[in-house]
Chains A and B, each alone.
Chain A
Amino acid sequence: MSYYEEADLDRFSDIGKYRPDLFEKFMAWYQACQEDGALSRREKALIGLAVAHALQCPYCIDAFSQSCLEAGSNMEQMTEAIHMASALRGGAALIHGLQAHNSVNKVSM
């Protein structure tokens, strides 16, 4: 058995069993976030896909890949979004190299 089950995505609402009020609030917020606004539904789906990769959440990657397709995005656009997330993660790691440099410099003559 895998820790991640594809079918769990469809039963996400089960998490509302013990505090349905909190889950309903979450869903209202979550759905409202994805409506067309100053950003289009497609742009939001691409943001979702990028964040899903940054979080490395398999449920979100599956779901937002579908969302991007259903918003009319193609693989080139989706891959660019994934690269943005990956580059940001890489950059975020790399800039911490300065912390290492600082740490080394502090104890160096």
Chain B
Amino acid sequence: MSTVLPVIQTELAVHSSVDFDEKLATHGIGLRSARVDTLQVNVGKLCNQACKHCHVDASPKRTEIMTRETAEAVIDAVRRFRIPTLDITGGAPELNPSFRYLVSAARALGAHVIVRHNLTVMFETDQKDLPEFFRDHEVEVVSSLPYFLEEQTDSQRGPGVFSKSIEALRRLNAVGYGIDESGLILNLVYNPVGAFLPPAQEAIERDFKRELMMRYGIFFNQLFTITNMPINRFLDYLRRSGNEERYMRKLVEAFNPSAVDGLMCRNLVSVDWTGKLYDCDFNQMLELGVAPELPQTIADFDPVKFGARRIMTGSHCFGCAAGAGSSCGGAVVVSS
């Protein structure tokens, strides 16, 4: 796989305008979903942070937020179709007034609930009890921590975020998260602090486990490596820093056909704050809805129709198919 081999390109530079579907076709792949076992719900763009790489453009200034009525439509879909997993993201989803309703209603229906929790929101008003709330509802917590050092983390996520994140991780550990026997899952997310691809997931996970334990006494379950998507705020950074062409070329050259099978769009449907449906959270941010022949909103959702749907793609999809692949659950191909 040339993707992880550094330094010398063996072919002439591939331009960033290479079409993702054409690239798939050259490998005899037609991208379709396999099934729907996850509804990934983005409950809004409001966040207590404004990270430099955020594909949502989330910040404290954003006002787009899911209403209770739409949240009830999501829960109705989980109930009617026995959706196995509800994956709640944002923004900082905890800032949505319907957040705790979504979690408790989905858990009452027996769904596995994942919350994409940014750690620092725990220190916002009325959020202090989040560790206990997560524990009581057996939520799987997935939290971004781009590096185990302060400089890199604060550079991407804002001044002071690292120290708050460490304190939040200690509080999660204190209620049992990330501790082997507890059954409470705390997974961390690494994403590169800049215009480069993530390292091998297993290798960087070992570093995180060793360093976080030795430096701060922190434990967690798994580390997911996620590639930065060339959209929204990260794309702005690429353009400002003169890295866009080089980064896109890197993604295209790192295309790995064996990563396609494990792409997250193959087993989830993404719901935005208005209830509209997408093939993934990145398409959602680009307002690239599901194929027009499909139901367009959560109120009309039917997993049978979505089970083998064609996936809508764009050049950003090279981000998910580069190297070891990238999904909400991290790398999709185990390193040799």
Chain A positions within 8 Å of B, measured between CB atoms, are: 9-13, 27, 30-31, 34, 36, 40-42, 45, 48, 60, 63-64, 66-67, 69-72, 74-76
Contacts and interface: CB of A to CB of B under 8 A. Distances in A.
B12 interface: yes
Interface residues of B, number: 28
Contacts of B13: 10-11
**4 closest Cβ contacts across the A-B interface?**
A67-B6, A72-B199, A63-B7, A72-B204
23 contacts: A9-B9, A10-B9, A10-B12, A12-B8, A13-B9, A30-B8, A31-B5, A34-B5, A41-B200, A48-B6, A63-B6, A66-B7, A66-B196, A67-B6, A70-B4, A70-B6, A70-B199, A71-B6, A71-B200, A72-B204, A72-B207, A74-B147, A76-B149
B199 A64 contact: no
B10 interface: yes
Contacts of A10: 9, 12-13, 249
B11 interface: yes
Contact of B10 (A27, A36, A60): A27
Contacts of A45: 6
B192 interface: yes
Given A71-B203, A72-B207, A74-B152, A27 B8 contact: yes
B232 to A, nearest CB: 22
A31 B10 CA distance: 10
Contact of B199 (A30, A31, A42, A63): A42
B198 interface: yes
B238 to A, nearest CB: 15
Interface in B1-36: 2, 4-13
Interface string B195-236: 011111001100100000000000000000000000000000
Given A11-B9, A42-B199, A63-B6, 13 more contacts: A10-B9, A10-B249, A36-B336, A41-B4, A48-B6, A60-B7, A64-B6, A67-B7, A70-B196, A71-B199, A74-B147, A74-B152, A75-B151
B8 A40 contact: no
B8 A66 contact: no
Contacts of B196: 66, 69-70
Contact of B203 (A12, A42, A75, A76): A42
Interface string B301-336: 000000000000000000000000000000000011
Interface in B166-209: 192, 194, 196-200, 203-204, 207
A53 to B, nearest CB: 15
Contacts of A13: 8-12
Contacts of B203: 40-42, 71-72
Contacts of B151: 75
A36 to B, nearest CB: 8
